[in-house]
Amino acid sequence: MKEKDVFFPVDGELLMILPRAAATIRNPDVQLPIFQVDADGYFLEMRVQADPEDKSEVALTRRVRLEDITEEEWEEIKEQYANVDIKACTDEGISKGLEKIQDRRVQRLFMALLTFLNPRQISIVLFLYKKAREQGNGPLVYFRANELLKSLGYTSTQKGTITARSRSQLNQDLVALHRTELVFAQSLKKGNTRGAKVIVKSILRIRDYEIDNLPRDFDLAKAADYTYELADAYTVALEFFDGPQQTGDYVLFSNSIDIKQKQGSNAKYDYKTKLLIYLANRMKWDTLTEGQYLVISRQYLFKNLDLLASNQSRNNQILWRTIKELQAEGYILDAQEISGKRKMINIHLKINQDKLRHN
């Protein structure tokens, strides 16, 4: 059986920054959103500071470029920011923290930035990389919206349609992945000195979309900002695609990966997807070879799974329940908790190379 029939590759550079790009507002390394103006235009930014204790916890900025706005609109958006309740966002949820913002477009803008790369969106990214392998057109991927919705586990109603809320959410997710830029530094050797190259990329860029039944008024940005609509098909370009196509820097995921969402539950509680992506991330940083164990500090597992509540016992229960889920699905062959130096607790994880393998 060919490797193509068993695995699909996901770009290594993307995986090395993905958990940081997905860091939530509760993460101690995340700074509050700020407004930025430079020669390139107006931006709303969230910065993730590096953690000096671990090289994998890199610095990164995610930003939304505010296009086609006047200076007056820019000032209005900044005024709306005063209505964001950051404490409610962290304690009660993002929706609660944004409920005082009256302008739907501004509310959705903040929502997209604060919840960027939640597990549902990461599942969409995995679907697209799998589709890229199947289609063989490099970074360009064409897909029908209903196919993606069904892969995510959304089922049709008795009338044979998927709910407007689910359809609307997909367009908002795709536009968020399209609009939000990631800014990060890549180490660069220059002769005897070491510098850095600053990279700006989106996860994907929407190239075009299709509407089946005309006349139908559909605008990609307006649908994401104001309405509850979805195009019938999209073509996107995956901006992180150098690894699978050129450099050989990628992680192979099993074609049997399950990206279905638990219906009725909030995507932020999908710890299984968070842990799977973090393990793929650490396989790149730790250059794991077959037969070796990943050794990860429990505190970093807590941080990257967004288990940041003060109840450490509950955090530990959720962590081990999630590890057992991935064991049941065959991704983890063995897991042990071992005390290290200075009472540091490390988790030793043996990854099944038949389900997850880095190149």
**Whole-number Cα distances in Å, 56 to 168, 230, 257, 272, 284:** 35, 37, 25, 20, 9
Bridge partner list, 141: 236
Q: What percent of the chain shows pLDDT beyond 90?
A: 63
Backbone phi, then psi, for 133, in 5-degree steps?
A: -65, -45
pTM of the predicted model, to two decimals? 0.93
Cα(127)–Cα(130) distance, integer angstroms: 5
Cα(321)–Cα(292) distance, integer angstroms: 23
**Whole-number Cα distances in Å, 99 to 25, 81, 109, 266, 268:** 17, 12, 13, 17, 19
Cα(142)–Cα(235) distance, integer angstroms: 4
Q: CB of 303 within 8 A of CB of 53? A: no
Q: What pLDDT band is residue 1 in, cutting at 50, 70 and 90?
A: very low
Owner of token pair 């770009």? 11
Q: What pLDDT band is residue 329 in, cutting at 50, 70 and 90?
A: very high
Cα pseudo-dihedral 154, 25, 116, 48, rounded to 10: -150
pLDDT of residue 114: 94
Q: What is the rounded average pLDDT of the residues 183-206?
A: 80
Residue 162 pLDDT greater than 70, yes or no: yes
Give the model confidence (pLDDT) of 18-53 as tens digits: 999 999 999 999 999 999 988 888 999 999 999 999
Q: Which two tokens stand for residue 293?
A: 């164990």
Residue 177 pLDDT greater than 60, yes or no: yes
Of 147, 104, 100, 97, whose CA–CA distance to 127 is shortest?
Answer: 147
